[in-house]
Amino acid sequence: MTERINRKWCLVSRPVGMVQESNFEPREEPVPALTDGQILVRTLYVSFDPAMRGWLDDRPSYLPPVGLGDVMRAGGVGEVVESRNPDFAVGDVVQGLFGWQEWAVVESGGMRAPSKVPAGVPLTLPLSVLGTTGLTAYFGLLDLGEPKEGETVVVSGAAGATGSVAGQIAKLKGCRVIGIAGGPEKCRWLTESAGFDAAIDYKRDDVGAKLSELCPKGIDIYFDNVGGEILDACLARIADRARVVLCGGISSYNEKEQPPGPRNLLNLIIHRGRMEGFIVIDYLPRFGEAVGELGRWVSEGKIVYQEDVQEGIENAPATFLRLFQGKNVGKQLLKIAEPQGGA
Ligand SMILES: NC(=O)c1ccc[n+]([C@@H]2O[C@H](COP(=O)([O-])OP(=O)(O)OC[C@H]3O[C@@H](n4cnc5c(N)ncnc54)[C@H](OP(=O)(O)O)[C@@H]3O)[C@@H](O)[C@H]2O)c1
C-alpha cells in the first residue's frame, strides 16, 4: 500500500490583533501506523467557529490554548478508514476535534474523542444546525432567554449559524424577532427566508434609532453574538425583567485591547434585568434532547439554515478569516474530501 501523507496546518505564531493567514503554516508528514485503541479518520468536512480565535491566545479559557507547532484544533466530520478500536468499524462516519488536517489518528476518551454520526444524517449537519451552533442557539435562547409568547427578541449576528437558529426558535415560541446583521443580502434572507419580523443592517442603519422604532415596548430578550456597541444599544432599550443572553462577542475577538465595558449596564438594575453567559458544552448531558428537537424542526421545514462550504485543505486559514470578514453565509465549513465508504 502506498504511504499516506497527511497535509495539515499548524499554528506557528500567536496573532496580535486580527488573526492572519501567516499565523499558520502548512506541513506534511506520513500518517503513523495505528496502535491498539486508535482509529484513522479521513477528514471530510471541517467546522470553523469564531471561538477558535480564542484558542490561539495563550491565556486560560474553557479549553487550553493550541500549542505553537500543533495542528490547528477544529471540529470535523470524517470516515473511519482503519480501526484498532472495537467500538469503531471501517466505514463509520464520525465527528470530533480532528483539526485542520486530512487524516486524524484518534482514540476513545479525552478532548479529541470521536463519536459516531447516525446513519442517514447528511454529513454537514452535525457541524451546522445539528452541531455546536444549533445547540448553542437552542440552550441559549430557551434556557437562558426563557422566551414567552408575544415577547420581543433581538438577535445579533442574526444571519450567522447560531443567530439564525436562535431567532427562528424564538419565532417558534411565538415571539416577535428582530435580527441585526451586516449587509442588505443577509437582512433580506432573515425576513424573506428565515421568518424574522424585521432586520437591521448594522453596517448602514443607525442601530439605536432602528431598535427604538422596532421595539417600542423595549427588548425582552437580547441574544448577543457580537458585544461592543450593539450590546450597548440593546442594553439601553431593555424592557422590565429583560434577559440578556451573552453567547459571544465577535466584535472584540481580534482587538489588541479589550474595549471598555458597556455604558448602559446599570439599565439592568432599573429594569430588574438579567445578563448571563454560558458555554454550550455545559449542556452536554442534554445534547440528545436538543438534537432531537432541532432535527424535527428542520425536517418539518420550521427551521431553515445555510451552509457556506469552501473547498480544499490548502484554504483552511483563508476560510477561517471569512468569519471575521463577515463573508460567511451561514455555517462556515471546508470540504476536504469525498466520502469513499471507508476505502
Ligand atoms: N457560548 C457558546 O458556547 C458559543 C458557541 C458557539 C458560538 N458562540 C458564539 O456565537 C457567535 C456566532 O458564532 P457562529 O459560529 O454562529 O458564527 P457566524 O455567526 O456564522 O459567523 C460570524 C459572523 O459574525 C459577524 N461578525 C464578524 N465580525 C463582526 C464584528 N466586528 N461586529 C459584528 N459582527 C461581526 C459576521 O456577520 P455579519 O456579516 O452580520 O457582520 C460573521 O458572519 C460568536 O460570537 C461565537 O463565539 C458561542
Question: Measured from the CB, is residue 207 less than 6 Å from ligand 1?
Answer: no
Q: For residues 24 and 83, state if they share a domain.
A: yes
Question: Measured from the CB, is residue 227 less than 6 Å from ligand 1?
Answer: no
| Mean pLDDT score, 271-280 | 98
Q: How far is CA 343 from CA 78, 82, 140, 229, 339, in A?
A: 12, 9, 40, 51, 9
Pure H helices in the chain: 51-54, 132-139, 161-172, 184-192, 207-214, 228-235, 267-270, 287-299, 316-325
Structural domain range at position 84: 5-123+306-335
Q: What is the pLDDT of residues 103-131, one digit of tens each?
A: 999 998 877 789 999 999 999 999 999 99
The per-residue pLDDT for 343 is 60
Q: For residues 117 and 146, state if they share a domain.
A: no
Other C-beta atoms closer than 10 Å to the C-beta of 36 total: 8
Question: Measured from the CB, is residue 75 less than 6 Å from ligand 1?
Answer: no
In a domain, 194, yes or no: yes
Read out DSSP for 118-139? PTTS-TTGGGTTTSHHHHHHHH
Read out DSSP for 209-224? HHHHHH-TT-EEEEEE
Q: For residues 219 and 271, state if they share a domain.
A: yes
Which CATH number is 139's domain given? 3.40.50.720
The per-residue pLDDT for 140 is 98
Q: What is the pLDDT of residues 44-103, one digit of tens each?
A: 999 999 999 999 999 988 889 999 999 999 999 999 999 999 999 999 999 999 999 999
Q: For residues 154 and 96, state if they share a domain.
A: no
The per-residue pLDDT for 288 is 94
Q: For residues 96 and 202, state if they share a domain.
A: no
- Ligand 1, pocket-test mutation among 162, 188, 329, most atoms within 8 A of CB: 162
Candidate from 32-36, 105-109, 144-148, 153-157 with smallest mean pLDDT = 105-109
Question: Measured from the CB, is residue 323 less than 6 Å from ligand 1?
Answer: yes
Q: How many residues does the chain have?
A: 343
Q: What is the pLDDT of residues 300-330, one digit of tens each?
A: 999 999 999 999 999 999 999 999 999 999 9
Distance of CA 147 to the CA centre of its chain: 22
Q: For residues 11 and 86, state if they share a domain.
A: yes
| Mean pLDDT score, 140-158 | 98
Percentage of residues in the chain having pLDDT higher than 70: 99
The domain total for the chain is 2
**Residue 183: pLDDT above 90?**
yes
Which CATH number is 13's domain given? 3.90.180.10
Those residues with Cβ within 8 angstroms of residue 295's Cβ, 6 or more apart along the chain or in another chain: 130
